[in-house]
Copies of this chain bind each other. A is one copy, B any other.
Amino acid sequence: MSKNPDAFTRLINALKILPNVGPKSAQRMAYQLLQYRREEAQELVDALQNALKQIHHCRLCNTFCENELCDICADSSRDGKRLMIVHMPADVSNMETANCHDGLYFVLMGQVNPAQGMDISAIALDKLVERLQQSDVEEIIIATNFTAEGDATAYILAELFKTLPYKVSRLSRGIPLGGELEYVDAGTLAQAVYERRMVKE
């Protein structure tokens, strides 16, 4: 790399902060941006600069937003009695697309990592407690991922709510829609049997 100009090397190093982008991908990205996509690259500069300046956290649900409240928290038609707790803003988007929850959200903006000492400062617990104190929430739906991190986060949340007067649930596990048993992995299959739903007793 010693023969590359400094501005190019600097750009490559800056691109390496993106998730899953190593030195080779960063080099290829830098090449493509400068050779073929200068206009879009300028838009990327502007959009990122704008986002860094404008975006902060919603006062209530902690997701990214530009105003004091995000669109969902500001929508008075949503059911304030049910609060769904998710890992990150993308989960809110996905849930909204599924159109199955008309309550409010709380975005943890992180997960507890059991491989790194269960550090609960990774999730916005203080803000969640504060959020609950001034609310009329009755049911809390834990919608963390079904991964080691998501399970650890769900465990911490369940512990937190143990002595508090809320109904608490977690998303169900099982065969995905359209899933054929032949192709479902063994762990999911086992879970679907353990948590089988009674149809007739």
Interface positions of A (Cβ within 8 A of B):
1-8, 10-11, 13-15, 17-20, 24-25, 27-35, 37-38, 40-52, 54-55, 64-67, 70-72, 88-90, 92-93, 96-97, 109-110
Contacts and interface: CB of A to CB of B under 8 A. Distances in A.
Contact of A3 (B15, B41, B71): B71
B19 A50 contact: no
A48 B11 CA distance: 6
Given A7-B54, A66-B6, A93 B44 contact: no
In order of increasing CB-CB distance, the 9 nearest A-B pairs are: A14-B47, A17-B40, A14-B44, A11-B51, A5-B66, A7-B54, A10-B47, A11-B47, A7-B51
State the oligomeric state as a number of copies.
2
Nearest to A40: B17
Given A2-B96, A40-B17, A34 B55 contact: yes
Contact of A52 (B28, B45, B67): B45
B72 A7 contact: no
A17 to B, nearest CB: 4
Given A17-B37, A34-B64, A3 B92 contact: yes
A52 B34 contact: yes
Contacts of A8: 51, 55, 64, 89
B66 A31 contact: no
Contacts of A64: 4-5, 8, 31, 34
Contacts of A7: 47, 50-51, 54-55, 66
Nearest to A38: B52
Contact of A40 (B14, B33, B46, B88): B14
Given A5-B66, A14-B40, A17-B40, A49 B45 contact: yes
Given A3-B72, A8-B89, A19-B29, 17 more contacts: A2-B96, A3-B70, A3-B92, A7-B47, A7-B54, A11-B47, A14-B46, A17-B37, A18-B29, A20-B25, A24-B90, A27-B90, A34-B52, A34-B64, A35-B109, A44-B48, A45-B52
